Structure 1
Amino acid sequence: METEQQCDLNAQLIEFGPQHYPLLIDWIDSDELNYLWGGPQFEYPLTVEQLDTHYGTQAPSPFLFVVNDEIVGFIELFKVSDCEQRLCRVFIHPTCRGKGYATTMLELAIAKAKMAEGPQSLSLAVFAHNQSAISCYEKLGFKPYETVSGLRFFKGKNWDLIRMSQRL
């Protein structure tokens, strides 16, 4: 079910494919942003080969977020198990932030997760210093259930990871 904001924005998720790799590679333009977006899964600079390897598996379902015919974001649904999906690699282009797009993109992804047969929960992990993302996730009903320290490091500094989830 579309929200009023989604209708006003003409917002949708479309499948992300190899033809979109250059766009994502262009967006992820620093070592820190690469780690914030992809964690240790990807090395900077992001490459076609890394994306091919990651999206060559069956588990991730990547999407571009399109608003009024402009690609403004990226999100991934990842099948963890038969009863759990995870939101990963949430990204709104910097020029499009502050417009409520992340909320709309997440609502669309949550709706997709609810349509899948089997999953009963939706989880995510977010770095503790990313307060705007945490606030957005909480507004959409995600609850923190664990803070992990000492698992992720960027340039020698520990980045605490907050794990959150919600029932579908």
Structure 2
Amino acid sequence: MDSPLQISPPPQLRTPEPADYDAIALWLPDAQTTLRWAGPLVRWPFTGSTLPAQLAAPRSTSRVLGAGDDPPMGFGQYWPRDDGAVHLGRLLVAPGLRGRGFGRLLLDLLIAEARTVHGPAPITLRVYRDNSGAMALYTQRGFVAVAELGDPDVEFMRLAS
């Protein structure tokens, strides 16, 4: 598959369908991967039919990156925080598409949509410090560490612009 900009129709965010959750469930092969991606409230193993309820969180919006009727290319969520920021979470790109620009596209589209829905609020996220690919992407896109909100394993980041 080509880069995101060479796909027709171009990938866009959309509301997940049941079949999307079936595909996403296959991207998470074990309990440790699931824990790192979604936190302790999502219990592995799960199925596509049980995943939406486990991912549901108050005031959250779930989106998939997709092109037409093709299987999903990525998944992410955003929700307003009590401090007025909008938090991005549970970002994930299909295993066969990683390292090809789909994460950047997913991130950029989620930020744009979150700002459309919630206004010019600060954008935040958390990332495991040993996830060098994600750390590089977030830094490249303008996120900076907020040291006092991180912990030894996880970096808390805020979009600088």
TM-score (norm 1): 0.79
Q: CA deviation at 1:19?
A: 4.7
Instruction: State the distance in 2 between where 1:107 and 1:118 align.
Output: 15
Q: CA deviation at 1:58?
A: 4.1
Stretches of structure 2 that go unaligned for 5 or more consecutive residues are none
| 1:14-41 Cα deviation digits (max 9, x unpaired) | 1124453322222212122111211222
Contact 2:86 2:118 in 1 (8 A): no
Q: CA deviation at 1:51?
A: 2.9
What is aligned with 1:162? Answer: 155
What amino acid does structure 2 have at the position aligned with 1:133?
A: A
Instruction: State the distance in 1 between where 2:41 and 2:124 align.
Output: 18
What is aligned with 2:134? Answer: 133
Q: Go from structure 1 to structure 2 and tell me whether the alpha carbon gap of 1:43 and 1:70 turns closer, same or farther (over 3 Å shift).
A: closer
1:30-49 to structure 2, matched below 5 A, reads: 30-47=30-47, 48-49=49-50
1:83 aligns with 2:84: yes
Q: Go from structure 1 to structure 2 and tell me whether the alpha carbon gap of 1:95 and 1:54 turns closer, same or farther (over 3 Å shift).
A: closer
Contact 2:65 2:72 in 1 (8 A): yes
| 1:104-138 Cα deviation digits (max 9, x unpaired) | 11111111012124451110000111011010001
Q: Secondary structure at the match of 2:72?
A: strand
* Higher mean displacement: 89-98 or 12-21: 12-21
Cα root mean square deviation, aligned: 2.3
What amino acid does structure 2 have at the position aligned with 1:25?
A: A
Aligned-residue sequence identity (percent) comes to 24
Q: Secondary structure at the match of 1:25?
A: helix
Task: Select the structure that is richer in strand.
Answer: 1
Q: Go from structure 1 to structure 2 and tell me whether the alpha carbon gap of 1:96 and 1:7 turns closer, same or farther (over 3 Å shift).
A: closer
TM-score (norm 2): 0.82
The number of aligned residues is 153
1:148 aligns with 2:141: no
What amino acid does structure 1 have at the position aligned with 2:82?
A: S
Q: CA deviation at 1:71?
A: 1.7
What amino acid does structure 2 have at the position aligned with 1:41?
A: L
Instruction: State the distance in 2 between where 1:119 and 1:46 align.
Output: 36
Q: Secondary structure at the match of 1:120?
A: coil
